[in-house]
Structure 1
């Protein structure tokens, strides 16, 4: 085929098209770009040829004009032969008349009849009726696949030899298309080719608009970033948006952290939430006229123009979420081809207040402070990383209640930074896995790996055996103190009696449930949300993990790989790989309960018991489907109640 457009096409642009479960076409654009000045009469010819091809597989009632739509498709013939081709194949003949004896042949074109609503049918054979001495045509309906970009499942009735799909029609009522039906069906490749070209041209225009002075970014990646799920294309922005969401949060968080060294964690979080909100990103996208490049529909012949000029696009309502998703996907596209520097530059285009971001973070100034030498040595051994700025390390381990000296601040600012670093590290690992994970699965995995309960468990569970210390006494010249395990939370500095009490209570629960949680994480086919809730770890446990990550990030001058080594050390990466490899079910119990019950209303009834604990009952319609006693917190009660209800409902489904 030859392709005529009013603009030069980007190269390459290939697409796989699935005819059935056994046949795949790969449509390719060959490197034969030529500038040709077409006469008005030749333009009319190639427009008419395109219309003939495009409409040949449709019933007559749905055929429309093809006037302003580009590109144009024709057979790959010299220009001077196109008009002759059109004369040969445009139109149809009566199947049987005095002037036409086509019944003596085997027609190659589609059979159409008012009795068949002019729907294209494929000729099988002539049938002579001995009583009426007339002719009939046995044919079968042409099964037109409307979506060739999705893999097909071949059904038996699509077979040409399936007699059950054959129909007979009086030949005198039929017409036969002049265009052979096997050539007609190639026109089904035109709509996906048009969509492919549309995406590539949009991506090319966007690259010139946003990345004129930046390293070249792959058009395929940009096309993916601007393609919405509603376009029904095989690849859309969802996977890039997943990574871009974490990258944007990381870029904004690090910028705020270094630009405002005096800001409290609460101010930092509030400002970050404003900058990454859908409202702010939507405003940024509209300001950058991003709506011109978003591929939100499958381009069809109903669209007025294939390559509209700026300002000619109808101002259709694009949801805020789509604008925000495309911005985040573009941030990820920039990262894949230019790393963090290019991502930061792109963020600066959409959010000008971040355009002055320093590419290399500066370390916090060293402060004077005296820290216990024996604890310093244990910390270095536990972390497997030696800080030169010791104040930074102890800041990561200082609770806001600590008032004994002013040598360090609390861990809250570092926890804010570490949260963003952890999020982007996990997102990068998930996005780079092969085979590729769907966006929904990556979101479930990230939620399971960065939630406070899981991080708190790692903080308690990741321990190191403390070396035995010799003790010299009068009775024995040298004995050894009993070795004990040390964990990160044991180094936290605080001045709160309540924390000491929480430590004791949580240590008891960890002693009872720690092995249970570990076995479930390492061997179960579902994530232990309920057991985590039962463990009930206070938030400062997870804060310590995130603040330590933030401190390592600063000490290593912004090296994400060094922070990733710490995640391996506390076994977070091991669990990530296990969840992916064994396809662990990660859905939260409350989400699973809502999915299973659908529109049926679920009610939770919670009450406080005399011993200070909580009891919850879960009702579906008028039936109590779960009841949990002795919960330490209301949050634990809701999670465990939903978890037990899900187990019951799933068991009923299996029994049915």
Structure 2
């Protein structure tokens, strides 16, 4: 469009600024009125909330310095939208080809295109959705189903053999091998859509059915095409570019992730039955049967007890679940050391199955948490806070009930009389064992629970940070968490594969309550050691943190050393190797508090105080100015011990270690 009216002073100033490289330009009318082409080019991703289409403001151009192409407006719109439309069609056709060629004749074709598209889209493609969340879900589903298949197929294998065989079956290398055998790589969407550099794909550019020479599958993370050094030095750049395009490499992790994502998509659509069909399609060296069939095989081998122990009703009361097959409950409570007349197989096999069932329930809850859409990393952190051995041992120690016992005794006057006693029975006391070491470990762990249990429970249900150090301070033996997992495995089998029964038991034990609080309150569940490392990496300049653990005179201590300066030291009595982990966690947590690396009630990050903010008041209180500080090595200075002693006179711990660290940083830095 043309403009014939003269410009205002402001418009003329802007106009001349656009042509400041032409000082002799004369303004003649009419001028060309133009509007910038829309900046947005990728229309496959919708606008977020608060965003929308916005017309750019028009501006003026001089006809003498402008070129006009007479292109219809509709054609411009088509050209703008066509790359995104073709990209969407390409993705859909790729997934339809996967379903109609690779998956044809299998029940997996029932999975909707939307889920299949997500499952086959790599994150590197930068599409709206990708497979990472489905891969996390599918990984847990695959491990759960593989564990159940092996548990049923090998009734005489102990937990070690089962775990080893499962790990081999679901390893990335095995999954990638199965994917290559099925030519799954042909349908993985991994090319990035760049609309501004887009050009149409022609028939000659289509990917062949088999990998061409030079294309390989490598184990590990996203690989980089490899060229020989002499080729880089002698061949022209354009030949190197063509060679890079030819040497397309795909990592085993991407292939394995897509297989797991497909299993996750099948589970998401129709549950375990379709997930088993998808897993059976890839094989993985296992004999696959549906879950009800495997449960039937397992239960057919169980032998009913002639006289179940009378104490079993206490455990059923604690779990709020009545077992139909009491022999499963006896097995779940039997330690390997037990030598009684009613001795059964120990709980190790059920613990193997219960561990997978627990992971399945927790991962499924986190994946479907309303309004969260957790990334795989956040799901992993929250899952670890709920399935770690410290937390499960705490649940085992905390779970208890009141038992009434009637005792009869003889009195000289009245003859026989009875008294009723009330006794609190804890779940851990129901374990059947024949080891004095186990009994001693139980007593020691429970004594620590009596000391810290109330604090831990308060933190789990009301605090904003997960009590890693407090849970570790229990130093609970592993058989406590194993026993709890074996009980969950027994419930799963006795209920004939009903995970809802496992969820109900977890709710009775309080696990579901903690999980719901973690999700709803956005509890900070990050490990203190990891959080301290992240804080150190975010500082300017970055700090180097290491931990020094020492055992001496029956004690174990851990020091947090920042830039070769000890800032925190925690010392505790040494009981076992768990004591070393306890003091390490405690030292990391104290360092977090010292450096103020916390989160406020709204969850926003509160960084540590800057060094001058802390050191200035210290120097002022000691009547020392920065001019007096020995920044240079050849400058005489007050001994650091004198400064530190003076600071301790008016500062209370735990601020003192932080100030000591800051003082050292000030007096050793360059001017």
Same fold (TM > 0.5): yes
Q: Does 1:172 align with 2:64?
A: yes
In structure 2, the partner of 1:607 is 550
- After superposition, residues 141-220 of structure 1 pair within 5 angstroms as 141-142=36-37, 144-148=39-43, 149=45, 151=47, 160-161=56-57, 170-179=62-71, 184=76, 187-208=79-100, 209-214=102-107, 216-220=110-114
* TM-score with structure 1 setting the length: 0.74
Q: Which moved more, 1:170-179 or 1:146-155?
A: 146-155
Q: Does 1:322 align with 2:263?
A: no
| Root mean square deviation, CA, Å | 3.3
Q: Does 1:575 align with 2:514?
A: yes
Q: Tell me which of 384, 394, 405 is aligned to 2:330.
A: 394
In structure 1, the partner of 2:395 is 458
Counterpart-to-counterpart distance in 2, 1:502 and 1:303: 70
- After superposition, residues 3-42 of structure 1 pair within 5 angstroms as none
State the 1:465 CA deviation.
Answer: 2.1
In structure 1, the partner of 2:157 is 263
State the 1:541 CA deviation.
Answer: 0.9
Counterpart-to-counterpart distance in 1, 2:346 and 2:365: 30
- After superposition, residues 393-472 of structure 1 pair within 5 angstroms as 393-405=329-341, 407-439=343-375, 440-467=377-404, 469=406, 471-472=408-409
In structure 1, the partner of 2:147 is 253
State the 1:407 CA deviation.
Answer: 3.5
Counterpart-to-counterpart distance in 2, 1:276 and 1:647: 41
In structure 1, the partner of 2:209 is 311
In structure 1, the partner of 2:457 is 518
Counterpart-to-counterpart distance in 2, 1:536 and 1:201: 56
- After superposition, residues 289-304 of structure 1 pair within 5 angstroms as 289-299=183-193, 301-302=198-199, 304=201
- After superposition, residues 335-414 of structure 1 pair within 5 angstroms as 335-360=267-292, 361=295, 362=297, 363=299, 365-367=301-303, 373-405=309-341, 407-414=343-350
Identify if the C-alpha distance between structure 1 residues 352 and 273 changes in structure 2 by more than 3 Å, giving closer, same or farther: closer
Long gaps (5+) in structure 2: 6-14, 19-23, 216-247, 598-605, 611-671
Counterpart-to-counterpart distance in 2, 1:310 and 1:436: 41
Long gaps (5+) in structure 1: 1-94, 96-101, 106-114, 122-128
State the 1:246 CA deviation.
Answer: 0.7
Q: Secondary structure at the match of 1:537?
A: coil
Q: Does 1:494 align with 2:440?
A: no
Identify if the C-alpha distance between structure 1 residues 345 and 571 changes in structure 2 by more than 3 Å, giving closer, same or farther: same
Counterpart-to-counterpart distance in 2, 1:487 and 1:458: 10
Q: Does 1:621 align with 2:563?
A: yes
Q: Secondary structure at the match of 1:311?
A: coil
Counterpart-to-counterpart distance in 1, 2:50 and 2:371: 26
In structure 1, the partner of 2:444 is 505
Q: Does 1:645 align with 2:591?
A: yes
In structure 1, the partner of 2:491 is 552
* 2:169–2:284 contact (8 Å) kept in structure 1: no
CA deviation profile, 1:608-648 (whole Å, cap 9, x unmatched): 1312x310001121222322110541121222222222333
Identify if the C-alpha distance between structure 1 residues 535 and 181 changes in structure 2 by more than 3 Å, giving closer, same or farther: farther
Q: Which moved more, 1:131-140 or 1:221-230?
A: 131-140
Counterpart-to-counterpart distance in 1, 2:370 and 2:51: 32
Counterpart-to-counterpart distance in 2, 1:244 and 1:152: 28
Counterpart-to-counterpart distance in 2, 1:161 and 1:455: 62
State the 1:298 CA deviation.
Answer: 2.4
Counterpart-to-counterpart distance in 1, 2:285 and 2:446: 46
State the 1:392 CA deviation.
Answer: 1.9
State the 1:383 CA deviation.
Answer: 2.3
Identify if the C-alpha distance between structure 1 residues 478 and 279 changes in structure 2 by more than 3 Å, giving closer, same or farther: same
Identify if the C-alpha distance between structure 1 residues 609 and 147 changes in structure 2 by more than 3 Å, giving closer, same or farther: farther
How many residues align structurally?
533
Identify if the C-alpha distance between structure 1 residues 454 and 159 changes in structure 2 by more than 3 Å, giving closer, same or farther: same
* 1:626–1:644 contact (8 Å) kept in structure 2: yes
* 1:614–1:630 contact (8 Å) kept in structure 2: yes
Q: Secondary structure at the match of 2:310?
A: helix
Q: Secondary structure at the match of 2:267?
A: helix
* TM-score with structure 2 setting the length: 0.73
Counterpart-to-counterpart distance in 2, 1:226 and 1:519: 44
CA deviation profile, 1:191-215 (whole Å, cap 9, x unmatched): 3333322221222122222253316
Identify if the C-alpha distance between structure 1 residues 186 and 626 changes in structure 2 by more than 3 Å, giving closer, same or farther: farther
CA deviation profile, 1:482-517 (whole Å, cap 9, x unmatched): 423222211111122111111111111100100000
Q: Tell me which of 609, 612, 615 is aligned to 1:655.
A: 609
Counterpart-to-counterpart distance in 2, 1:494 and 1:297: 59
